[in-house]
Every structure is written in structure tokens, then in C-alpha cells.
């Protein structure tokens, strides 16, 4: 009997497999053949992505990093589903001419609202990015000042400790303290 021990997948392999499964599930989903039902599916897709954006924007406003990070995979999946649906609607544009006018109107309104929400979400993301950049600058400045205040000891060529107030310490690629 030839039984080989098979090692369990690494964490990276497990993540990759899960991503492939999600991608296959998203790719496998297709819009309904009936144009009216296909539009209804797109409205559901827009609602799903809108909900994720609202949660993400709220997490950014509250500086809730854990919630923000936990939403990212769901946002990616929802965005991929939305993109796939839009591409299918575009490919079926002749069929979509037969959609009931009130459904078209509702979809257009949803698209407008979604675009506005996307802009608010983008603004919140940009604010968070600026905040993180300022925080990084503050940390670098504090580290530089702390290094300048401390005495710097180093060993010289003869192995003795030398004390030189003017020694420079590199704190980043282009800065010295």
C-alpha cells in the first residue's frame, strides 16, 4: 500500500484556492436571459456594492481600521460581480432596449446615486491617506528629534568608544539626524 503523507496547504496556498473559488463563482454567475430580470439582477448587484461602500465610508469616518480591512474582500467580490454584470449588459445592449421604461428609469437613478456614493467614498479614502501620511511625517520628525537629543557613541578604528556630538544617524533614505 503506497500512502504518501500529504502536507496541508500553506496559508498562502489556502488563500489562493479560496480566491480561485470565489473568482469561479463570480464568473459562473450570469444575468438572466429575460432583459427585465437581468436589469433587476443588476440593481441587486448595485445595492450590494452600495452597501459595502456605505459600510466602508462609515468605517473610514470612524477610523475603524479593523472594519475597513474586513470589508475589502467583500468589496472586491461585489465590484467584480458588478463589473461582470455591466459588461454583460453592454454586450446585450440590443436586447436591453426591450426593458420596461420604469425599470430603466430606476436603474439610471440607482446608477446616479451609486456614483455620488462612490465619490464620497473616494473622498473618505483620500482623507485617510492624507492622515496616514501626516502621521508618518510626525513619527519621522519625532524619531529625528529624539536621535538628535541623544548622545551618539560609536567605536573608532582602534576599538575605543568615541563620543562625537556631530555623528550622523541615517533615519531614512534621504534624512540624517
pLDDT for res 24: 45
pLDDT for res 25: 47
Residue 165, CA distances (Å) to 61, 116, 150, 154, 169 in order:
45, 57, 9, 11, 11
Tell me the average confidence (pLDDT) per consecutive run of 10 residues in the chain, 177 residues long. Answer: 52 56 52 91 92 91 89 93 92 91 91 91 91 90 78 63 57 60
pLDDT for res 23: 47
pLDDT for res 77: 93
| Residue closest to 102 by CA, chosen among 39, 21, 23, 150 | 39
pLDDT for res 161: 63
pLDDT for res 101: 92
Tell me how far apart the alpha carbons of residues 87 and 45 are, in angstroms, rounded to a whole number: 13
pLDDT for res 78: 92
pLDDT for res 172: 62
CB atoms under 10 Å from CB of 70, counted, come to 13
- Helices 101-149 and 35-61, axial angle in degrees (round to 10): 20
Tell me how far apart the alpha carbons of residues 167 and 172 are, in angstroms, rounded to a whole number: 16
CB atoms under 10 Å from CB of 97, counted, come to 9
Residues contacting residue 106 through CB under 8 Å, at least 6 positions apart? 43
Amino acid at each position: 500500500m503506497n500512502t504518501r503523507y500529504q502536507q496541508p496547504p500553506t496559508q498562502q496556498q489556502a488563500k489562493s484556492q479560496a480566491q480561485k473559488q470565489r473568482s469561479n463563482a463570480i464568473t459562473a454567475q450570469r444575468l438572466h436571459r429575460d432583459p427585465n430580470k437581468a436589469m433587476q439582477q443588476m440593481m441587486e448587484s448595485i445595492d450590494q456594492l452600495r452597501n459595502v461602500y456605505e459600510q466602508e465610508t462609515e468605517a473610514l469616518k470612524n477610523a475603524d481600521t479593523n472594519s475597513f480591512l474586513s470589508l475589502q474582500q467583500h468589496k472586491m467580490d461585489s465590484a467584480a460581480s458588478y463589473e461582470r454584470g455591466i459588461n454583460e449588459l453592454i454586450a446585450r445592449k440590443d436586447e436591453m432596449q426591450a426593458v420596461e421604461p420604469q425599470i430603466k428609469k430606476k436603474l439610471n437613478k440607482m446608477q446616479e446615486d451609486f456614483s455620488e456614493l462612490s465619490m464620497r467614498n473616494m473622498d473618505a479614502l483620500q482623507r485617510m491617506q492624507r492622515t496616514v501620511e501626516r502621521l508618518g511625517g510626525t513619527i519621522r520628525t519625532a524619531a529625528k528629534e529624539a536621535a538628535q537629543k541623544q548622545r551618539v557613541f560609536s567605536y573608532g578604528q582602534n576599538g575605543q568608544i568615541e563620543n562625537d556630538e556631530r555623528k550622523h544617524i541615517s533615519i531614512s533614505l534621504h534624512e540624517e539626524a
